[in-house]
Structure 1
């Protein structure tokens, strides 16, 4: 692959689809997922550029066209139908990134069935919970993942081919390759399930506790399409790469479904991620538009100190965790492109962003996650009642105007989340009694310019002597120190102030000895006092080898609070 697009290039007159146009396209009573994501596109067009390292370490790229994807998915659909899978039935996958995975996904949707993604890093308890919760009839597994499946009611189907697939089979298993050879789709039509039908059940990452099954309807594709177009400014000339794993929302929504909705290709890297490999993909594939979690940017930054960056990248976007300011500044020099922060949730996809599309592009504000996308109406509500707060003045302190980030569901035409699977109590906690407001569970503030600023999960806000302090503000200063790779800030009970701040820090050179730790702590405390606020510095700093995270890379501060309480 080679890129012909230059940095900053793009037709400034390009018009994004309006909300009404998107709803007319996706929110229909006869909506067909297979048609929307595949069958309506040029069969000769590339759906995915599948990239992998061969045995010699060279990158190999294979184009998967929409025509090939249609044919492959019809075979899968026929095989699943022969196993008794029909509209509304759940089928899970325990598979890594591959052309076969995408074919299985589309085969599930071709039947009108429900797709349940399982992250390949999961152990059996996490897999079992999702299989039981979704009542999956079938689970399709890569050969290397089969041994994790220790029981359950779902029929196990092993993907892949050859000796690896055959050796992975256990009693009662079926082999996908054999099933697809024996089954025929014929002249059947793909299921027209309508926009309200469930397309995916995706479980949350468990940032604050037990994961919940998010019910994702077909109409969500309108929102996913819009983010690809406005948030990421993806267009036909791009070489696009979303490096997120499709076992999680950002990778599934915007690395699989979003590009397919537009009929445009995405790089699907099947080899294990490393910063070294990422840099090779940038250069050898000519990536012009890149999206990833902040963790990816941090690993590239740590690995590529002193190295030159990609030569043709024009858009870099980040989502999943707040983007600290030093990454934005580093991105300008390394990528030649600022990294734009985007905010969303598994329950809604992306809805507050710093958009790339020329119609909507704004000037970045330090620490801001952007503005609401068209079709979304977001607010910051008072910490106590459902009253929109007065907007914060420029340069206001962290505690000033900090409230709860919420979505006005009555005014958001692209909304699609209605609840969690079989969890009415958890669903009710997310909405105001009148149904108007959806509570994101995040704390933040909104500037007079309308831009939103993330502070933390609402549960993570620290209230010290009456001041509301968002951990992200303090963490953003701590990681400015060249020795700090990551930091997490929590509140610890204090008799005098109610709570005080403590920080957990990962250093580039590992856990320091006592003497070095004392000097480093003093330096970091001074950095926060100077760079943020004199009162909001961490009273203690704990040096650790790593921070507890969800499989998708989000820091679990509640586990740090639990560990700190236990140790006390």
Structure 2
């Protein structure tokens, strides 16, 4: 077996090649009879899709999209849950050399429309239950410039077509388009605190980074039953629940149901999951609701990402599953770049409280709080990636946002600034302290205060809103808000519930503030920015 450094070089040579085709790399080169996706419904019945079937169905859909005029470089969005249909749609998009724009199904119409308009998407493929969010209204223009295709006939509108109808009369399947390593194949939006969502263009060469984490961070073996529970509308679920297993020719398990601890245990037992990756909230919830595991569960690898793990959860996992739970760290702009490796080539004892060390292909350290030089061992500072020493580094900047892009790099371009703070020990283990940008990490989702504040300010009684995160035993953090009301408006629990409903309707179902405090004014800096650190005591 190749050493990790040589393996990284080999992956880069393949995925950063001018002849690189995403559909070929993720589908066509694999044995056609091998399983690619197993979709599991709430009834726990499996629906298998082989690589051969994925190739055939995605080719038919690609031909149909080509008939609509979709071509290389066009943006095509999906508003779909986990499962076989999403895999077919994504590979079909990549077969044409087009760019996949994943949309989180919990988003409200306003958040969806913003991303569709900003990306210039020409086509939206959506599940039936998501179709009403694309209806013309306050947020969605009546003359929207995108086609809508639904997975079924239940929510059809005039002008829509179903996937079955679209592919029935399609022309011949096009050959997979080779776009090369620098061309984007995904446009993913990540939330911030000081402005609208930022577009992250993921180039084909990033496949090397995703494959490296799949191999060394997760240690997914050929005979594993691999399950990443994260939603593919976000980076961890997309990069490592859909892309990396297909890239490696492995099967990915996709549960098409909401999270439930009993259902999770059933899936682990019935399908014989041996390699599990999930957000900390999954493990925390299992810990709170599970006393003993069914004897059929025999997981050999446990991984977590999205927010730091609590030490008690790490201990519980080791006692309950009999294997260590390994913490991993990354961002939408990087993928996972730090962690406790599961692979035997770099595996080490779990250092409780640490995020682990830089994974193969990455160099991550801590810089001084102000100066762009490495901080002493044990000192707190800014977590940063050494760009020149990280061959897997692929992020170059945000789409059409030079200001936000420049803020991520030091002036000389050597360091990528994660926006997080922490420290490192003498052996290179990193310890997380806080997020500089105040993003809220709830159940593995990254929620930008700006998005929630924007929704809250649409209520006629609200003058100002300050949104922040508060610790939560199960979710890691939950959303809280301090609200300044207009003269004459009175605080009440009824008003608080109206504000929660507004966030659900105008931004996302999962992002409503669990705690709302009505205040006379918000703490601000001399320049007028909200001091979010001072909101927390105000919120109780």
Q: Show the counterpart of 2:402.
A: 424
Give the corresponding residue for 1:280.
Answer: 266
1:159 is matched with: 150
1:26 aligns with 2:15: yes
The equivalent residue for 2:217 is 231
Residue in 1 that maps onto 2:79: 94
2:366 is paired with a residue whose SS is strand
Q: Distance in 1 between matches of 2:119 and 2:296?
A: 42
Correspondence 1:384-399 to 2 at 5 A: 384-392=370-378
What SS does structure 2 have at the residue aligned with 1:168?
Answer: coil
SS in 1 for 2:148: strand
Structure 1 residues 312, 566: CA separation in 2 closer, same or farther (over 3 Å shift)?
Answer: closer
Which whole-Å CA distance do the structure 2 matches of 1:211 and 1:564 have between them?
A: 24
Specify whether residues 567 and 503 from structure 1 end up closer, same or farther in structure 2 by C-alpha distance, changes over 3 A only: closer
Deviation of the 1:156 alpha carbon: 3.4
Please give the alpha-carbon distance, in whole angstroms, between the structure 2 residues aligned to 1:66 and 1:562.
Answer: 53
Could you list the runs of 5+ residues in structure 2 that have no partner in the other structure? 443-467, 475-499, 516-529
Q: Is residue 295–residue 553 contact of structure 1 (8 Å, CA) maintained in 2?
A: no
1:175 aligned residue: 162
Q: Give the Cα–Cα distance (whole angstroms) in 1 for the partners of residues 419 and 40 of structure 2.
A: 37
Relative distance call for 1:421 and 1:565 in structure 2 (3 A) is farther
* TM-aligned CA distance change 1:308 to 1:177, over 3 Å: closer
Who is 2:525 aligned against? none
Does 2:345 match 1:340? no
Q: Counterpart of 1:199?
A: 185
Q: 1: CA distance between counterparts of 2:145 and 2:423?
A: 46
In the alignment, does 2:22 pair up with 1:44?
Answer: no
Q: Residue 135 in 1 paired to residue 113 in 2?
A: no
In structure 2, what is the Cα distance between the partners aligned to 1:128 and 1:206? Answer: 17
For 2:531 and 2:280, the matched residues in 1 are separated by 21
d(CA) in 2 for partners of 1:195, 1:117: 20
Name the CA shift for 1:336/1:385 in 2 (closer, same or farther; >3 Å).
same
Match of 1:267 in 2: 253
1:225-249 CA distances to partner (integer Å, 9 max, x unpaired)? 0100000111111111000010000
Q: Which runs of 5+ in 1 are unaligned?
A: 1-12, 393-400, 462-470, 476-501, 509-545
Partner of 2:132: 147
For the residues of structure 1 that align with 2:367 and 2:84, how far apart are their CA atoms?
A: 44
| Conservation of the 8 A alpha-carbon contact between 1:139 and 1:154 | no
Corresponding residue number in structure 1 for 2:487:
none
Equivalent residue runs for 1:52-451 within 5 Å: 52-54=41-43, 59-149=44-134, 150=136, 151-152=140-141, 153-161=144-152, 165=153, 167-186=154-173, 188-206=174-192, 210-305=196-291, 311-392=297-378, 401-451=379-429
How far off its partner does 1:459 sit?
Answer: 4.5
TM-score with structure 2 setting the length: 0.81
Q: Deviations over 1:135-185 (max 9, x none)?
A: 101111111101011334243323223xxx2x4112222222111001033
**Alpha-carbon deviation of 1:391?**
0.9
Residues 287, 372 of structure 1: alpha-carbon distance in 2 compared, 3 angstrom cutoff: same
Name the TM-score, length of structure 1 as normaliser: 0.77
Q: Please give the alpha-carbon distance, in whole angstroms, between the structure 1 residues aligned to 2:18 and 2:323.
A: 42
Secondary structure of the equivalent of 1:200? strand
| C-alpha contact 1:205 1:552 (8 A) present in aligned 2 | no
Aligned length: 465
Query: How much has 1:53 moved relative to structure 2?
Result: 2.9
The CA distance in 1 between the partners of 2:415 and 2:71, in whole Å, is 35
